[in-house]
Structure 1
Amino acid sequence: MKRELGRYASFAVAFGFVSIATGIFTAYGSVLNSSGPMGIWTWPVVVVGQLCVALVFGALAARIPVSGYAYQWTSRLANPVLGWIMGWISFTFLSVVVVAVDYTIAATILPVLFQYQGTSQNAWVITAVVLLLQAVLVALSTRVTQRVNNVAVTIQLIGMVSLTVLLFVVGAVTGALDFGTLFSTADVPRDGYFSLGGATSAGPWALGFLLGAFTIVGFESAANLAEETRDPARVVPKAMAQAVLGLGVLGMLFLIAVTALAGDPAALARSDTPVADVIARVLGSYVGKGLLVLVVVSIFSCGLVILLSGARLVWAMARDRRFPGWPLLRRINPATGTPMNAAVLMFVIAQVLLALFARSTQALFSLFSAATLLPAIIYAATVALYVAKRRSLPPSRGFQLGRWETPVLVLAAVWLAYELLIFRDASFAEPWLYVAVMFALGALYLAYLLVRHGTAGLTMPDMHDIDKALDDDTPPPAARAGATGGRP
């Protein structure tokens, strides 16, 4: 594939996937119910933790800048079997998160925008159509997809900044801002609010971390397009860190504005569209709806980047003959220059998951919970691997942690361990079931690979071949093997 993505395009990929509009509109209502308004103060902690994770990922992306990110890194740093497992987990995550993101448009915004009663049935149909539009773009043209995403990210930046400023200004002029709400727990009991919880339950404040943990993920999508990015060892790490930091600050300001204007937070928590309700009430029908249109564009962009990233991951694994149906999925369409078959597969899987989750009475909570649990597993495994193997990495061509490496690793490890412990809560039974089913399917295929080819059939190119590929500006060995039909 062509190296045609520059600095802003790489940043836009990371920024578009993270998308604070998506995360906050999806998860804010759940946080009001579990943690009350004071739950928003978990956001800064998550930003610091995820920034440390992004820095670790940047150190890896600068040394192994190839499509497939965690799959490629783990295969080379540990072994191909563990790498395949990480690749499958990443595929599982990307498949469900694109559904969660697109479902947000249908469930939390469009009912307010067009004044109709949202139901699970119409949310299902609308989400299916949105997925189809995204799949067509991803399958037909990477360049067009990137242009659409660049425009959408620019709109998101302008829209979210304007929306935040307007909420503060109008709220101040009308006297509607109540900063005391920021420290209220509403209907959530204060007794034991900051407790760690029990063996099968997390404390009320701890559940608030899911807001940031669901939102500030996906920055590594920039690394998944490394083979299509110019000077990826320098560009990709900075794009990931800048996206996390910028979105973290903007997201916190937006949360403060919405929460200070919540009015009765207990009543707002009972709404299916809490953030959209606040915007429409404070800014009025026309201005509020105009800004909600910008939010829809932002969320569409987020889903677009996720589907794009998923298609690249499937293609990377199929290129190495490690994904079911690899002879078809590793092909690059000569007319479009895209892995079209991989994009079609992501679309089909997303539609299947949508059909399964849309039947649930709490579909949105189940979707965003599963889409938070899986990246936490991926991040924890990758950080642990970096700790164990960092001395054997090839030299960096553009980014390194230097003297900050130890404190960054400690903070990242502590944060991820804490995040994973939150998922012991019994309310996450359905997401764990999804993870278990997908893991079981992956285990069956991995067993087939090992029986048929053995571990020798899963070998990867030497890490230091990556440096030579960068020097020559040619595809890495696995890509050449996949293109010619040879064994990687």
Structure 2
Amino acid sequence: MANPDLIASKDLIAAPALQRNITPFQSFAVAFGFVSIATGIFSAYGAMLSTSGPMGIWTWPLVVFGQLMVALVLGALAARIPVTGYVYQWASRLGNPVFGWIMGWISFTFLAIVLCAVDYTIPATVLPVLLGYTGSVENAWWITACLIFAQAGMIALSTKVTQGFNARAVMVQLIGMIGLIILLFGVGHFSGQMHYANLFSTGNIAATGYFSLGSMTAVGPWVMGTLMGAFTIVGFESAANLAEETHDPARVIPRAMWQAVLSLGLIGMLFLIAVTALLGDPQGPVSATPIADVVTRILGGYIGKALLIMVVISIYSCGLVILLSATRLVWAMSRDQRFPGWHYFRTIHPRLHTPLNATLGVALVGQVILAAFSGDTDALFTLFSAATLLPAMIYAVCVLMYAFKRHSLPATQGFSLGVFEVPVLLLAMLWLGFELVIFRDASFIKPWIYVGLMLLIGAVYLASLLLRGGTAALKMPDMESIDAVMDARPEDRANRG
């Protein structure tokens, strides 16, 4: 009788393959570009001021440390199962195929919503100041729709061009953000506009009970400030979703993850200090575009707008990486015949060598989600809240899977936590438990509704899969076959040799 794992492995080898051409810097650029402090801080800074006041910026180091612990755990997991599809692949092999499908669908739900949240940031928080027009729900909708289609077109046409653009955009963001920080501190200091007392002001938030943990349905003001960092410092694991396109992924991908978190954490903290010190009256009304207002006021029209153009490029690149990661997840699940419309989405275009159909499919889903939120005057808060809740759920599952299955994992070909494994695991669990408890606040009812609806859609499709073929229809190759599958490709044999 034929070995089903061997059959599954042969099927995977015979399936259309992506080209392994991502370099170590491009892997770092994927993780860095997805996290994108320019995107996250521009998106969430205004909401942070409204809920936590300027002193909410001091939640940033806590989030960076917590997410660094998570990145280390996910890096150790990626080094042992370096297969495209990341959490979908990990959960399928460490848990069971049904659980893997559920986690794959949750990951797709996250990527689809965060794509909209990131691209919506451009017309909602930057373009009105950059181009001098009055922002509205309507123009934010159609501008975001155009951005999604532009990103899809680039990804569909060429992975090489996409990676090249993203690598350059990351360099622009690195140089631009460091230059922006230096200019803000320098000009602010010599013009006498730096007010460091702002850093310890609660703004319009009452000082009484400011550090309270809150009640059953409400979170304390300072704790709410962690959402800015929690929304920003996510997506570093996207490097693992391109494992089958990366040279030496077991070594390169974990390093890309933790380096992205550390570098962005440091740059982000300096940027937050500069912007907050230059904010002006901490008890004044909160602008819809607070950071763009500070940049143009302090640095003047020309320099300020040039730097805002840099921010637009960074945010566009972030959305590009998110869409790229989503297409790879859809393709990986479709390759295993598990995604709705998998017959259509599993193909690789013979000339472009890209998952063209999966790219277009994700872009269309993004448009549907965008349309659903188009009439919401608080759309940005709703989008970024949902895009913070979902990765926290995903990370918690991944950390728990690693904790329970770490002794049965395949041997690593690269990264290992060594003697720090248990302390890192415990710290990651504590941080994620703390973060998830925040979402008990009543202000998150809309994100919970979105998550519930997407899970319901996934449950209906999963039920149809199980009714047609039972759990056997979701059979995955076991962990021991992963190296055999990868080694069957000539380029991987060369890498391992």
* Common topology (TM > 0.5): yes
Q: Cα 1:85–1:475, aligned 2, differ >3 Å: closer, same or farther? A: farther
Matched, 1:319 2:335: yes
Kept in 2: contact 1:164–1:257 (CA 8 A): yes
Matching residue within 195, 201, 204 for 1:178: 195
Give the C-alpha shift of residue 471 in structure 1: 3.8
2:385 to 344, 369, 375: 369
Q: Distance in 2 between matches of 1:99 and 1:470?
A: 34
Cross-structure match for 2:323: 307
Aligned to 2:142: 125
Partner of 2:279: 262
From 137, 148, 151, the equivalent of 1:134 is 151
1:192 corresponds to which residue?
209
Q: CA deviation at 1:217?
A: 0.2
Q: 1:289 aligns with which of 293, 305, 314?
A: 305
Q: Which residue of 1 aligns with 2:245?
A: 228
Q: Give 1:467 deviation, angstroms.
A: 2.0
Deviation at 1:107, TM superposition (A): 0.5
Q: Sort the Cα spacing of 1:299 and 1:268 in 2 relative to 1 into closer, same or farther, 3 A.
A: farther
Deviation at 1:267, TM superposition (A): 2.4
Letter in structure 1 aligned against 2:315? I
Which structure 2 residues correspond to residues 73-472 of structure 1 after superposition, within 5 A? 73-267=90-284, 269=286, 271-472=287-488
Work out the CA distance in 2 between the residues paired with 1:186 and 1:437. Answer: 36
Q: How does 1:7-22 map to 2 (within 5 A)?
A: 7-22=24-39
- What SS is found at the alignment partner of 1:396? coil
Q: What SS does the corresponding residue of 2:30 show, helix, strand or coil? A: helix
Q: Is the 8 A contact 1:168 1:257 kept in 2?
A: yes
What is the rounded CA distance, in whole Å, between the counterparts of 1:179 and 1:440 in structure 2?
Answer: 48
Range with greater deviation from structure 2 (461-470 or 436-445): 461-470
Report the identity percentage.
63
Unpaired segments of 5 or more residues in structure 1? 477-488
Judge conservation of contact 1:268–1:274 (CA < 8 Å) in 2: no
Deviations 1:175-220 (Å, cap 9, x if unpaired)?
A: 1111110010011001111111111111101100000000000001
The one-character-per-residue Cα deviations of 1:11-30 (angstroms, maximum 9, x if unpaired) are 00000000000000000000
If the length of structure 2 is used for normalisation, what is the TM-score? 0.95
Cα deviation per residue 1:89-121 (whole Å; 9 max; x = unaligned)? Answer: 000000000000000001100000011000001
Counterpart of 2:10 in structure 1 is none
Report Cα offsets for 1:401-437 as digits up to 9, x if no partner.
0001011101100000000000000000000000000
- CA distance in 2 between counterparts of 1:151 and 1:244 reads 19
How far does residue 335 in structure 1 lie from its aligned partner after superposition? 1.1
The count of aligned residue pairs is 475
Question: Taking structure 1 as the reference length, what is the TM-score of the superposition?
Answer: 0.96
Q: Is the 8 A contact 1:262 1:268 kept in 2?
A: no
Contact 1:227 1:475 in 2 (8 A): no
DSSP-derived class of the 1:344 partner: helix
Q: Is the 8 A contact 1:66 1:227 kept in 2?
A: yes
CA displacement, residues 344-392 of structure 1 (integer Å, 9 cap, x when unaligned): 0110000011111121010000000000000000000111111111110
Paired amino acid for 1:262:
L
SS in 2 for 1:220: helix
Q: Which residue type is aligned with residue 201 of structure 2?
A: S
Superposed CA offset, 1:107-156 (max 9, x none) = 10000001100000111111111111000001111001001101111100
How far the C-alpha of 1:47 sits from its partner, in A, is 0.3
Q: Verify the 8 A CA contact 2:212 2:221 in the aligned structure 1.
A: yes
CA distance in 1, matches of 2:424, 2:491: 32
User: Residues of 1 paired with 2:285 and 2:178: CA distance?
Assistant: 23
Which SS does the other structure have where 1:323 is aligned? coil
The change in CA–CA distance for 1:352 and 1:418 in structure 2 (over 3 A counts) is same
Structure 2 SS opposite 1:266: coil
Output the aligned Cα RMSD: 1.0
Structure 2: segments with no counterpart, 5+ residues: 1-17, 493-497
Report the 3-state secondary structure (helix = DSSP H, G, I; strand = E; otherwise coil) of the residue aligned with 1:96. helix
Report the AA paired with residue 98 of structure 2.
Answer: V
Aligned position for 1:60: 77
Q: CA deviation at 1:475?
A: 9.1
Task: Confirm or deny: 8 A CA contact 1:25 1:275 kept in the other structure.
Answer: yes
Shift of 1:469: 3.4
CA contact (8 A) 2:20 2:491 kept: no
Deviation of 1:74 after TM superposition, in Å, equals 0.6
Partner amino acid for 2:126?
I
Q: Which moved more, 1:340-349 or 1:455-464?
A: 455-464
Deviation track 1:24-59 (CA, whole Å, cap 9, x = no partner) reads 000000000000000000000000000110111100
Give distance in 2, aligned partners of 1:414 and 1:221. Answer: 23
Residue of structure 1 in register with 2:3 after alignment: none
**In 2, Cα distance between the equivalents of 1:92 and 1:162?**
35
**How far apart are the structure 2 equivalents of 1:161 and 1:283?**
15
